[in-house]
Amino acid sequence: MYVISSNKRNYRIYPLHKFYEVYLNILERKKHLMSINRNLKLLTLAIIMFIISSCSRNPVTGKKEFVLMSESQEINMGKGYDPQVLATYGVYDDPKMQNFITAKGKEMAAISHRPHLPYEFKVVDSPVVNAFAVPGGFVYFTRGIMAHFNNEAEFAGVLGHEIGHITARHSVQQQTKQMFGQFLFIGGLIVSEDFRNFADLASQGMGLLFLKFGRDDESQSDELGVDYSSEIGYDAVEMAGFFNTLKRMRVESGQATPTFMSTHPDPGDRYNRVQVMAREEQKANPNKQYKINRDSYLKMIDGMIYGEDPRQGYTENGAFYHPELLFQFPVPSGWRVNNTPAQVQMSPEDGNAILTMDLAAGTDLRAAANTFVQENKLTVIEQSSSNVNGNSAYTLIAESTPTQANGGQEQAQSPTLRMLTYFISYGGKIYKFNGLSKKADFNKYFSDFQRSMKNFKKLTDQSKINKKPTTIAIKTVKKNATLQTALAGYSMQGSQLKELAILNGMELTDQVKAGSLIKTLGTLGGGAAAPSSNTGNENSNSGTGINTNTNTTNTGSTNSDGGIKNNKTGTSGTKVTKPGGTKIGSKGKLKKKKKD
């Protein structure tokens, strides 16, 4: 028996058993499709249940939000970041200041929306004007930002802003959204995100990558800063004044540096908006006294090191000098320098290259090069022995291919990186220079890389070796005068005047009263600081970079072994390093926390 089948134009004759086979095949396919559909429904239901279970109530707004991190995971993340932050910056050794920020931080945390977190507050040894927090309750202030506050109330406002990012879980939300941009903010540098996965950078503290908050987050944290600082009795109007100082610093520097406004974008008319919020808060509590505490704060920071500490390495007139390890090398023209406990890091304005210098393990040049190649999974293009100003050296050009993931598939569009690396034997140590860029850009930066590496040499200039750190020197105004006149009375001159106007949060034409306190610049051991003669490279550790941030992510562990920041111990020859390494140096009124 046969069955006739047609499809408009053609007729086909099938034996009956063939027709049955086709029919059964169709039935089987329908069953399979029904099974897939059923599985998809189950998967969809599972996803919905996962989203529901991942929704938690925001401690500040009271609204439900989707996050992929529990509070315990958030705390553990912060505990993991803390040693990396300390390895990257080092701790600033000033017990009085440390006790101050701990006391104020604990007081503010207790009245916040998340008082139960294991908060820790630390001053880190970096001149970059910077305050940031990592998830779980860890808050950091650099000595650079502490030098720029002019009273306790300004400090309290920024402290409240940073605690606000933690209590509102802004960092956790960013992790959930994976808000990475085209560039990474690292210390005082901007570098291409293409360098994120290069292991040698991640392992030396470059894994601390700062992310950008949205304007809504900033509005909320500004409001929390006003709320929290007012709650513990500080005049939040002063917080607005400090934001104005940050804005002036950015304009004065003329550089597209990673500033407070870069990572914490201005939600719109920030200065006036914060002032209005502060006035409203005070109007709602007319019987409450709000303190500023200018003199007590200025006395606390008297003698603090300001800008780079030359004992840890410094940049001047286009060269990097290390007085204790007695070496120097030129910095590429126009490049910014970030001197961390792990590395000296240099990068051009566009962020498309990075040049680093640190120490390699061991004393054998070829072995150090082989270890570097193996650990970073590099393909060597060229390699040879050489000599750098009388010092044995080993050089190589190599490439790092895109990292492999997801069963061997390449990560999306990761470019090949090419590098020039010099290993130089000097003073019983191996100094490793590494110049890195995308392969397509390598020829553009090759001469910059090579010039720094080939001109590494012994430092013999006694004026560079004996350079003393600049300090904050608090002085009493002798008579009623303009700020400029008062500063000139303490031998401040030239470029120091504009810098000190910003440092004091004033204009040079502002009147100051006899008996009031002002900041001037001195030197460690006494005496007025000489005006800066640095006309070369911009240095992110010069006290002019602004980078106030509250979220970091990590692409690798920070291993500071081999860093070269030296700190005197009173012994001859050997220096004890700081922990972590050595330096080469809203939406309406916010929901208030209920009182018990």
**Could you report the per-residue pLDDT of 306-326, keeping only the tens digit for each?**
998 998 899 999 999 999 999
Percentage of the chain with pLDDT > 90? 48
pLDDT at 481: 97
- Domain limits, the chain: 14-57, 71-301+543-553, 317-405+413-465, 470-523
pLDDT at 569: 31
pLDDT at 207: 40
List the single range of 28-42, 208-222, 254-268, 577-591 with lowest mean pLDDT.
577-591
pLDDT at 378: 93
Q: Is the pLDDT of residue 533 over 70?
A: no
Q: What are the start-end ranges of the H helices in 111-236?
A: 143-148, 152-167, 170-177, 199-201, 215-231
* Residue bearing the bigger pLDDT, 36 or 337: 337
Instruction: Identify the band that residue 185 occupies on the pLDDT scale cut at 50, 70 and 90.
Output: very low
Instruction: Identify the band that residue 105 occupies on the pLDDT scale cut at 50, 70 and 90.
Output: very high
SS3 408: coil
Q: Is the pLDDT of residue 558 over 70?
A: no
pLDDT at 321: 97
* Residue bearing the bigger pLDDT, 261 or 168: 168
What span, in angstroms and rounded, lies between the C-alpha atoms of 143 and 163?
18
Q: Element (H or E) spanning 22, and its range?
A: helix 16-54
- Cβ atoms of 358 and 344 within 8 Å: the answer is yes
pLDDT at 192: 56
Q: Is the pLDDT of residue 40 over 70?
A: no
In which residue are the tokens 């970079």 written?
A: 545
* Residue bearing the bigger pLDDT, 430 or 11: 430
Q: Is the pLDDT of residue 159 over 70?
A: yes
pLDDT digits (tens, 9 = 90+) for 237-252: 999 989 888 888 877 7
What span, in angstroms and rounded, lies between the C-alpha atoms of 270 and 246?
11
142 contact partners, CB below 8 Å, separation of at least 6: 89, 92, 123, 124, 125, 126, 127, 128, 129, 130, 131
pLDDT at 176: 44
Q: Are strands 120-124 and 138-142 parallel, antiparallel or unpaired?
A: parallel
Torsion, CA 536, CA 542, CA 543, CA 549, rounded to 10: 100
Average pLDDT on 509-531 reads: 88
Of residues 125, 164, 161, the one with CA closest to residue 146: 125
pLDDT at 74: 85
Rg over CA atoms, the chain: 29
pLDDT at 259: 45
- Cβ atoms of 483 and 509 within 8 Å: the answer is yes
What span, in angstroms and rounded, lies between the C-alpha atoms of 425 and 367?
12
pLDDT at 524: 80
SS3 147: helix
Which DSSP category does 10 fall into? Answer: -
Longest Cα separation, the chain = 120
pLDDT at 57: 58
pLDDT at 13: 54
Instruction: Identify the band that residue 593 occupies on the pLDDT scale cut at 50, 70 and 90.
Output: very low
Q: Is the pLDDT of residue 527 over 50?
A: yes
Q: Is the pLDDT of residue 64 over 60?
A: no
Q: Which of 17-26, 271-280, 296-305 is most confident?
A: 296-305
What span, in angstroms and rounded, lies between the C-alpha atoms of 554 and 207?
5
What span, in angstroms and rounded, lies between the C-alpha atoms of 567 and 583?
9
Percentage of the chain with pLDDT > 70? 64
Average pLDDT on 280-304 reads: 96
How far CA 3 is from CA of 15, 22, 26, 156, in Å, comes to: 6, 12, 17, 89
Q: Is the pLDDT of residue 210 over 80?
A: no
Q: Fold for domain 317-405+413-465?
A: Protein Transport Mog1p; Chain A (3.40.1000)
594 contact partners, CB below 8 Å, separation of at least 6: none
pLDDT digits (tens, 9 = 90+) for 251-272: 776 543 434 444 555 545 778 8
pLDDT at 243: 84
Average pLDDT on 535-546 reads: 38
∠ Cα 36 40 46 (to 5°) = 145
pLDDT digits (tens, 9 = 90+) for 346-378: 999 888 899 999 999 899 999 999 999 999 899
- Cβ atoms of 419 and 397 within 8 Å: the answer is yes
- Cβ atoms of 49 and 104 within 8 Å: the answer is no
* Residue bearing the bigger pLDDT, 248 or 183: 248
pLDDT at 380: 96
SS3 247: helix
Lookup: tokens for 153 = 């109330």
Q: Is the pLDDT of residue 466 over 90?
A: yes
- Cβ atoms of 458 and 300 within 8 Å: the answer is no
479: left (phi over 0), alpha (psi -120 to 50) or beta: beta
Average pLDDT on 572-579 reads: 32
CB burial class (10 A; 0-12, 13-18, 19+) of residue 489?
A: middle
Q: Is the pLDDT of residue 183 over 60?
A: no
Average pLDDT taken over every residue of the chain: 76
What span, in angstroms and rounded, lies between the C-alpha atoms of 113 and 224?
10
Average pLDDT on 504-509 reads: 96
479 contact partners, CB below 8 Å, separation of at least 6: 514
